[in-house]
């Protein structure tokens, strides 16, 4: 259920779930790089596309927090 909820947010952002996860990490000012593991060039290309949309609205961040940190 958590993955499905996060995936819906990603789709609404025009991203895959992996892209949104990378964008979420990269949105922090102190983070300049992220280590990812890929086994195919297509996975690397997909990950790099997250750079096109690393901004999140307050509403998106609240939704993500409520999904990830639910009690």
Q: What are the pLDDT digits (tens) for 7-23?
A: 999 999 999 999 999 99
Distances (CA, A) of 44 to 27, 29, 35, 48, 52: 19, 23, 11, 6, 14
What are the boundaries of each domain within the chain? 2-68
Q: Which residues contact 69 (CB under 8 A, 6 or more apart)?
A: none
- Residues 33-60 have pLDDT tens digits of 888 889 999 999 988 988 889 899 999 9
Q: What is the pTM for the complete model shown?
A: 0.84
Q: Which residue has 């992220």 as its token pair? A: 34
Output b/e per residue, 34-47; b: 16+ Cβ within 10 A: eeeeeeeeeeeebb
């Amino acid at each position: 259920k958590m993955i499905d909820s996060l995936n819906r947010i990603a789709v609404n952002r025009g991203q895959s779930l992996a892209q949104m996860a990378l964008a979420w990490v990269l949105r922090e000012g102190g983070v300049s790089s992220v280590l990812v593991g890929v086994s195919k060039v297509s996975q690397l290309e997909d990950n790099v596309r997250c750079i096109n949309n690393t901004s999140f609205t307050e509403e998106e961040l609240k939704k993500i927090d409520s999904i990830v940190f639910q009690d």
